[in-house]
Amino acid sequence: MSKDRRDVLEVLKFELQFLEQGGYGRSVHTPWKPTSAFQDSLSCPNFGDPNRPHACDECLLHDFVPDQYKAEDVPCHFIPINAHGETVDSMKRQYTQPEMEDSLREWLRQVIKRIETGRAQTATPAAPNVTN
């Protein structure tokens, strides 16, 4: 379990909104430097700090990383984001940035929906058991 105290649903919704508004295009401050999914958004506790003072297990995305990848340098790039188990790491070598972002966008929508559904079911009190 991550040490991040932010609401996972709100962070994922923010990440989706970030992608829908142009996402990981080139930075106006460093247009020569490619951007990195998750790392170059406010979702990352190390956003904007090249020293990376926060361990990745402090990020709520760490909970989505399969155990065998939690020790990777950028574990969030190993979250399976489609039905084929492809990750940001594997997709960046085979797909264009927009194609990878489309898969990431769809993954975010699915996870957001799953969390919202789970919370709605938890918040809805069970119907009383009426017997005559």
pLDDT tens by residue, 80-93: 999 999 999 999 88
Q: Among 21-35, 37-51, 65-79, where is mean pLDDT lowest?
A: 21-35
Residues of the chain above pLDDT 90, percent = 54
pLDDT band at residue 22 under the 50/70/90 scheme: confident
Does this model's pTM top 0.85? My answer is: no
- Contact in structure between 92 and 41 (CB atoms under 8 Å): no
> Looking at residues 94-105, what average pLDDT do you find?
91
Structural domain spans, the chain: 8-123
Q: Is the dihedral of CA 104, 17, 75, 57 positive or negative?
A: negative
